[in-house]
């Protein structure tokens, strides 16, 4: 979820912001030091009355660091003081966005709002892939570049699932990821906040709750509200938990008016997911 998706909108807006297009199938546009190539099998149209440019049929917009594919690409603009300002860009049908370092996002429909710096991708089989994680969602994948705070955020809505390269997995009705730039200037996920039917797991521990936060830098998580921690045949129940997915150590914490309970089976066999040592059971406090 580290893809700076807002670049797609800037690419399409710059590529299509011409004042005299008519049924071209390919064109090159200069954007700063980069050349953008737009191709469409059925032509590139300018609809003056609707104030929109449309690239139709297997449309592709290519810059050296980013490529956008769709059945149609649309750039909506406003005319003000003899200039045209693009305010919304759409990619419709078989949408695929690819960056130079191999990040990809797939969907049926993408809308980018330039003034807000917001991108929303919807449709069936929503998917984001990078070297660090794979993200799927049922309802939408969103990216907000101008979000309040120190960096952008990404939101996966509806049966959201994050599968990280280190083996950690996160599930929730909605997952919101917060990003910061690292020393190399690349955007990295720092935290992922999950709400509703939350699960975090890897091959060492499984935990669930109603809300939680995953911390990417040290592979830990905190869960709250109806928390259950499971490891092999061991299970602890409570209101709040701290989980170290790297070591597999979990701590269930009691809160005022809320106790903890559990089932611990220290003699479980190896097939149950534990070595049989009672020290492998979740801890409680």
Same domain, 143 and 231: yes
The pLDDT profile of the chain, 285 residues, written as one tens digit per residue, is 444 444 545 555 555 554 344 444 655 544 445 566 778 998 888 888 888 888 899 998 887 777 889 999 888 888 877 777 778 889 999 999 888 878 899 999 999 887 888 889 999 999 999 888 999 999 999 988 866 666 789 999 999 999 999 999 999 999 999 988 777 767 788 999 999 999 999 998 899 999 999 999 999 999 999 999 987 777 888 889 999 999 888 888 766 655 554 444 454 444 443 333 434 445 544
Decide which of 93, 121, 149 is a domain's last residue.
121
Give the separation between CA 29 and CA 73, rounded to whole angstroms.
15
Tokens of residue 73, six digits = 């690409």
- Cα maximum dimension of the chain: 79
Please tell me the number of Cα atoms within 13 Å of 148 on its side-chain side: 0
Same domain, 221 and 175: yes
Tokens of residue 285, six digits = 């406090």
**In 3D, which of 227, 237, 241, 233 has the Cα closest to residue 269?**
233
Give the separation between CA 72 and CA 91, rounded to whole angstroms.
6
165 in any annotated domain: yes
208 in any annotated domain: yes
186 in any annotated domain: yes
Q: What's the total number of domains in the chain?
A: 2
């Amino acid at each position: 979820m580290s893809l700076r998706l807002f670049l797609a909108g800037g690419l399409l807006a710059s590529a299509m912001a011409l004042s005299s297009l008519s049924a071209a199938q390919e064109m090159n546009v200069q954007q700063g030091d980069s050349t953008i190539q737009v191709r469409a099998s059925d032509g590139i149209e300018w609809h003056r009355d609707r104030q929109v440019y449309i690239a139709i049929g297997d449309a592709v917009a290519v810059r050296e660091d980013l490529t956008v594919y769709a059945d149609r690409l649309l750039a909506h603009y406003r005319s003000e003081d003899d200039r045209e300002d693009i305010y919304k860009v759409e990619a419709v049908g078989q949408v695929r966005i690819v960056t130079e370092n191999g990040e990809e996002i797939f969907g049926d429909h993408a809308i980018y709002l330039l003034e807000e710096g917001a991108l929303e991708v919807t449709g069936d089989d929503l998917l984001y892939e990078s070297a660090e994680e794979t993200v799927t969602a049922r309802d939408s994948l969103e990216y907000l570049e101008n979000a309040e705070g120190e960096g952008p955020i990404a939101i996966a809505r509806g049966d959201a699932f994050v599968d990280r390269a280190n083996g950690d997995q996160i599930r929730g009705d909605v997952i919101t990821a917060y990003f910061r730039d690292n020393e190399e200037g690349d955007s990295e996920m720092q935290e992922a906040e999950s709400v509703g039917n939350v699960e975090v797991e890897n091959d060492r521990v499984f935990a669930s709750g109603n809300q939680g936060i995953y911390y990417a830098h040290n592979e830990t998580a905190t869960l709250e509200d109806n928390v259950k921690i499971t490891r092999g045949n061991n299970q602890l129940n409570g209101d709040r938990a701290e989980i170290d997915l790297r070591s597999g150590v979990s701590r269930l914490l009691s809160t005022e008016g809320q106790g903890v309970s559990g089932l611990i089976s220290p003699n479980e066999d190896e097939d149950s997911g534990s070595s049989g040592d009672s020290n492998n059971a979740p801890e409680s406090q």
